[in-house]
Amino acid sequence: MVCSCWVPGCTNRANGTDKVGFYSIPSVRVHEGDFTKSLSEERRRLWLASVNRKDEPTKFSKICSSHFITGHPSSMYERSNPDWAPTLKLGEMLTPTKSQKKQAEIETKQKRFQRVMKRQETKEKHHAARWAFYFDKTHTAAVTLYNSIRSGTNM
């Protein structure tokens, strides 16, 4: 079956030679608990709002990789990932000024994402360092106590 992109104005087709991926519009996942249900509902809503078409997608409607910063959508549980929904080359970017503005917006988003990741990493490092410090302190205290008992000295 020939697959074409559902984004208005996008001419990408799956022809087997280009490395263009196609991704289905996320469906609402109703059987995996409330959290997954509301998250998938929100995601579907955002995808549809981003594509901004008047008609509803069918199960064959797909969006191509050129609308994602990394070339593919993120996992549904990565809500803060800029690729949680399509952001690039959408219908509203027809004029160059708008396109530039949007590009700047995307770069800001990307930077913010990288910053969040970095902060998370630093936080984890600090946490590990703190634990190592406490472990060391407790360990040293235990060794001192053990040695003092063994040598018969009174504390």
Interface with Zn ion (CB under 5 A): 5, 7, 10, 12, 64
Minimum distance of Zn ion from residue 45's CB (angstroms)? 20
Half-sphere exposure of 68 (CA within 13 A, CB side): 20
Which residue, 12 or 74, is less far from Zn ion as judged by CB? Answer: 12
Between residues 39 and 61, which has the closer beta carbon with respect to Zn ion? Answer: 61
Minimum CB–partner distance for residue 7 and Zn ion (Å): 4
CA distances from 152 to 37, 95, 139, 143, 148 (A): 65, 85, 20, 14, 6
Measured from the CB atom, the residue of 18 and 136 that comes closer to Zn ion is 18
* 99/144 with CB nearer Zn ion: 99
**Residue 80 Cβ, how far from Zn ion at the closest point, in Å?**
24
Least gap, CB of 5 to Zn ion (angstroms): 3
- Check: CB of residue 91 under 8 Å from CB of residue 7: yes
